[in-house]
């Protein structure tokens, strides 16, 4: 390419958008759109920044597969030392396939099926984050059959408002997640199930939490209760929810670490974190092509089946052209081809007037809950996923074919 370009994730060089050292426009033309494009450099940097921020706690970092479970990306994280936070048999399969050791896998989820519990015990996962006394009894019943002792954490509902969207707030009393405080204490202190070893508590407050004080409040609430009830903790799982930048700037991860570490460092117990979005969210863009320009609508070839977040809860994703322009702008609505009025990727966005049909746009911050929530709605094919590493790129998931839909 002539001039050497430093390894960064997504940036403009001579008015062209690059992913690391590869021009995004070249990938879009060769592979076709829409497509998901990932930066290996970004994924590694995000994981390392999280690990470094919380290093005084030496935590087990269990990447949350629900954010994005592409096997190639899981292998990258496994090689960095990550464990896995899973919520299904499919995610267990992928975590093990990626080479993540069972002793680094925690199994969460409010509705675990019997066959999922059986397979997880068979594969010797580290622990279950348990959501109810009924689930605990079922795990014990299966553990008796396998003649195995099973580690469990009790997921508590601390009834704390994380100040985020209601769909991703999971620690409030009205949420379906977790066990009520008094019930959790009763279960912990009176556990008589022979094959169950309760190690501690699990708290997951929600996603995109912007204030470190939310974690501080939850931790203090747990520790005060533990002290009052004379409970001996061996494990404390703080879940995830750490924010990334979509529209507005967010506090750096070290701010959260400064609030959390002093409360936990002296406990000398195992600490678990389950970041997903923080690691993968801003490590990807969704590349889409402009099909038509009509009034104030920019109609593109990606839709809500490819990226559901804007339609589902009004999520904001920055939208930029692959070729930067300093010309005049107009305000337009970026919408997809799906037969739904809610099919939009961005409303009232300022875009260059020089945009024309056939040009490409990048939807930023699409790595988390982008491909993983995609569907075949309108019988549309699921997108290819491309991984860039320095000056090379490879397809890590092929574009779906129509034959795949009717298998």
Lookup result for tokens 């290093």: 55
pLDDT reported for residue 182:
87
∠ Cα 195 201 204 (to 5°): 130
d(CA 33, CA 16): 17
User: Please, is 96 exposed, middle or buried when counting C-beta atoms within 10 Å of its C-beta (0-12, 13-18, 19+)?
Assistant: middle
Name the 3-class secondary structure at 88: coil
In the structure encoding, which two tokens stand for residue 80, read together? 């960095």
Task: Tell me phi and psi for residue 188, to 5 degrees.
Answer: -60, -45
Of 232, 239, 243, the residue nearest 108 (C-alpha): 239
Spatial neighbors of 175 by CB under 8 A, at least 6 apart, are: 157, 169
Give me the average pLDDT of each 10-residue run along the chain (407 residues): 64 97 98 98 97 98 98 98 98 98 97 97 98 96 98 86 44 65 92 96 90 92 92 96 94 97 95 97 98 97 98 95 92 97 97 96 98 98 98 98 95
Q: What is the 3-state secondary structure (H, E, C) of 252-317?
A: CHHHHHHHHHHHHHHHCCEEEECCCHHHHHHHEEEEEEEEEEECCEEEECCCCCCCCHHHHHCCCC
Go through the chain and tell me how many residues it has: 407
d(CA 27, CA 162): 39
d(CA 139, CA 146): 11
Contact assessment for residue 385 and residue 35, using Cβ atoms and an 8 Å cutoff? yes
pLDDT reported for residue 162:
46
d(CA 10, CA 6): 11
d(CA 26, CA 280): 23
pLDDT reported for residue 157:
83
d(CA 391, CA 284): 16
Cα of first residue to Cα of last residue in the chain, in angstroms, is 42
d(CA 31, CA 29): 6
Contact assessment for residue 147 and residue 155, using Cβ atoms and an 8 Å cutoff? no
d(CA 364, CA 300): 15
pLDDT reported for residue 174:
55
Cis ω for the linkage preceding 361 (within 30 of 0): no
d(CA 307, CA 287): 11
**Residues tagged active-site:** 339
Of 205, 224, 202, the residue nearest 160 (C-alpha): 205
Enumerate domains of the chain plus CATH numbers. Answer: 10-39+281-405 (2.40.37.10), 108-275 (3.20.20.10)
Task: Tell me phi and psi for residue 198, to 5 degrees.
Answer: -85, 115
The alpha carbon dihedral of 244, 273, 239, 144 has a sign of positive
Query: What is the CB neighbour count within 10 angstroms for residue 61?
Result: 23
User: Please, is 192 exposed, middle or buried when counting C-beta atoms within 10 Å of its C-beta (0-12, 13-18, 19+)?
Assistant: exposed
């Amino acid at each position: 390419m002539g001039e050497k370009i430093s390894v960064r994730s997504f940036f403009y060089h001579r008015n062209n958008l690059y992913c690391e050292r590869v021009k995004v426009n070249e990938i879009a033309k060769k592979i076709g759109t829409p497509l998901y494009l990932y930066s290996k450099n970004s994924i590694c940097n995000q994981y390392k920044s999280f690990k470094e921020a919380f290093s005084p706690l030496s935590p087990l970092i269990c990447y949350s597969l629900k954010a994005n479970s592409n096997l190639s990306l899981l292998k990258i994280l496994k090689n960095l030392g990550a464990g896995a936070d899973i919520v299904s048999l499919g995610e267990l399969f992928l975590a093990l396939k990626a080479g993540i050791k069972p002793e680094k896998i925690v199994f969460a989820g409010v509705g675990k099926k019997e066959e999922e519990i059986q397979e997880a015990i068979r594969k010797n996962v580290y622990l279950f984050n348990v959501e109810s006394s009924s689930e605990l009894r079922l795990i014990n019943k299966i553990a008796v059959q396998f003649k195995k002792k099973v580690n469990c954490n009790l997921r508590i509902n601390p009834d704390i408002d994380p100040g985020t969207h209601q769909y991703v707030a999971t620690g409030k009393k009205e949420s379906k997640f977790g066990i009520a405080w008094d019930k959790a204490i009763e279960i912990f202190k009176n556990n008589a199930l022979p094959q169950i070893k309760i190690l501690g508590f699990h708290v997951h407050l929600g996603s995109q939490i912007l204030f470190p004080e939310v974690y501080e409040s939850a931790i203090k609430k747990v520790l005060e209760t533990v002290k009052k009830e004379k409970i001996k903790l061996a494990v404390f799982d703080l879940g995830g929810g750490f924010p990334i930048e979509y529209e507005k700037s967010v506090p750096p991860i070290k701010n959260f670490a400064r609030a959390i570490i002093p409360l936990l460092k002296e406990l000398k117990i195992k600490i678990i974190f389950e970041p997903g979005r923080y690691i993968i969210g801003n490590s990807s863009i969704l590349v889409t092509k402009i099909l038509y320009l009509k009034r104030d609508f920019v109609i593109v070839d990606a839709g809500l089946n490819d990226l559901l977040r804007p339609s589902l809860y009004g999520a904001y994703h920055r939208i930029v052209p692959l070729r930067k322009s300093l010309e005049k702008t107009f305000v337009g609505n970026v919408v997809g081809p799906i037969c739904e009025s809610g099919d939009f990727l961005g409303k009232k966005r300022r875009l260059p007037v020089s945009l024309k049909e056939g040009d490409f746009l990048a939807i930023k911050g699409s790595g988390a809950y982008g491909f993983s929530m995609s569907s075949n709605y309108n019988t549309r094919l699921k997108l290819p996923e491309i991984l860039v590493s320095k000056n090379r790129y490879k397809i890590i998931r092929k574009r779906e074919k129509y034959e795949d839909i009717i298998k």
